Amino acid sequence: MTTRVKVLLVIFAAVAAIYGASLYFSWGGAPQLLGIQASDARFTPLDVDSPALKGYLLQRIRDFKYSGRHDNIFVYRAPRQPAPVVPVRDPNLPPDPPPGPPPLVLPYRFFGYVMNLPSGNRRGFFQNGEDIFIAAEGETLQNRFRVLRITNNSAEVEELASGRRATVQIEEAPPIA
């Protein structure tokens, strides 16, 4: 044998001895229980009137038939949708009232206002395409809409023909290209 092989064998034997000693000392003793041990308390049996098995309860469990959904819980599927319930209308009830008018859609974009400090009057800036309109509270826009109120972040507008009202939130002006 060469000296190199002898050195390797000595190193292997030392490592095996250290490993064996660590196993021996870690598993050597009995496990130590901390706290109260089971043998510290005195055993007292439960006070039971009749310790016999209740066969009728066991039979009830055996005879039970599951009536729920029989899905495989290990396979994902979308939950089943219950059948839609169609409400039955009572013929003696009056018919539903017709739906109201659609919400008012303004062709204008409210992008700012200016306020006269001594009088408190506000004038709003509205844009329709490339056209810009300036209207004070109470004035009309293109003889179609009346500006009712201008606040810090919105303007309330009323359509003259139908009396419907809408609130337009202030929008930031797009950057000039």
Say if 22 falls within a structural domain: no
Say if 133 falls within a structural domain: yes
Say if 117 falls within a structural domain: yes
Is residue 166 classed exposed, middle or buried when 0-12, 13-18 and 19+ CB atoms within 10 A define those classes? middle
Say if 119 falls within a structural domain: yes
Instruction: State residue 16's pLDDT score.
Output: 94
pLDDT at 123 exceeding the cut of 80:
yes
CATH of the domain at 143: 2.30.30
Strands across the sheet with 109-115, in order? 109-115, 122-128, 131-136
| Interval 19-38: pLDDT, tens | 988 888 776 555 555 555 55
Residue carrying the six token digits 């919105």? 154
Pairwise CA distance, residues 10 & 69, whole Å: 68
- 46 or 158, greater pLDDT: 158
Say if 26 falls within a structural domain: no
Q: In degrees, to the nearest 5, what angle opens at C-alpha 138 toward C-alphas 114 and 153?
A: 40
Name the percent of the chain lying above pLDDT 70: 89
Say if 150 falls within a structural domain: yes
Query: How many domains in the chain?
Result: 1
Residues of the domain holding 157: 109-169
- The dihedral through the CA atoms of 116, 117, 120, 125 has a sign that is positive
Say if 69 falls within a structural domain: no
Instruction: State residue 102's pLDDT score.
Output: 85
Instruction: State residue 94's pLDDT score.
Output: 85
Say if 81 falls within a structural domain: no
